[in-house]
């Protein structure tokens, strides 16, 4: 199984054993406050999401990965890249950086640590030239993470039916 290690984190592809952690994450309304999706109600929904992610790994070679505490082995959330083959903001075949953590891990630099690792992975391993990310206008902490790892505000776009901030980071 592929993985990326940082000082405090192990990021790896999801497996069904991560369903309980993913359920804890996605059943929390505070986690999804700025995302615009409903909380999951049954663990089966988390298992189904893991199967979707596994399909993305097989089809695209990349996706959102589970984030595990290196010293504890505890599921903390997810972080990773998603390949969009369809047209988004007049672009196709582009990679989005995303992350989501269980609240007890907020404010400790884990999102920044994982995001930095993914930016490096994208440019060094995947050899791509640009990543994008989107944030809700009011989600300052997520926007701050993106700025710390080099993303710049580009424009406001309609993304999945919502107006959001579009940010990019380039290899240069």
Evaluate if residue 1 carries a pLDDT over 70: no
What average pLDDT does the segment 121-142 reach?
95
pLDDT attached to residue 88: 85
pLDDT attached to residue 162: 83
Q: How confident is the model at residue 53 (pLDDT cuts 50, 70, 90)?
A: very high
Exposed e or buried b per residue across 101-112, where buried means at least 16 C-beta atoms within 10 angstroms of its C-beta: bbeebeeeebbb
What average pLDDT does the segment 1-29 reach?
96
Residues 73-103 have pLDDT tens digits of 999 999 999 999 998 888 899 999 999 999 9
pTM: 0.95
Decide: residue 78, CB within 10 A, 0-12 exposed, 13-18 middle, 19+ buried.
buried
What are the structural domains, with CATH classification, of the chain?
3-170 (3.40.630.30)
Evaluate if residue 9 carries a pLDDT over 70: yes
Q: How confident is the model at residue 35 (pLDDT cuts 50, 70, 90)?
A: confident
């Amino acid at each position: 199984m592929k993985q990326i290690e940082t000082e405090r984190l192990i990021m790896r592809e999801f497996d069904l054993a991560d369903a309980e952690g993913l359920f804890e994450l996605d059943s929390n309304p505070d986690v999804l406050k700025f995302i615009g999706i409903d909380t999951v109600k049954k663990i089966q929904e988390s298992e189904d999401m893991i199967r979707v992610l596994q399909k993305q790994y097989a089809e695209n070679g990349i996706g959102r990965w589970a984030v595990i505490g290196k010293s504890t082995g505890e599921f903390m959330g997810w972080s990773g890249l998603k390949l969009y083959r369809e047209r988004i903001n007049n672009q196709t075949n582009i990679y989005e950086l995303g992350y989501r953590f269980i609240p007890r891990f907020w404010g400790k630099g884990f999102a920044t640590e994982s995001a930095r690792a993914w930016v490096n992975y994208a440019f060094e391993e995947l050899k791509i030239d640009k990543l994008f990310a989107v944030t809700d206008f009011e989600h300052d902490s997520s926007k701050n993470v993106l700025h710390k790892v080099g993303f710049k505000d580009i424009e406001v776009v309609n993304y999945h039916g919502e107006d959001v901030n579009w940010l990019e980071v380039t290899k240069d």
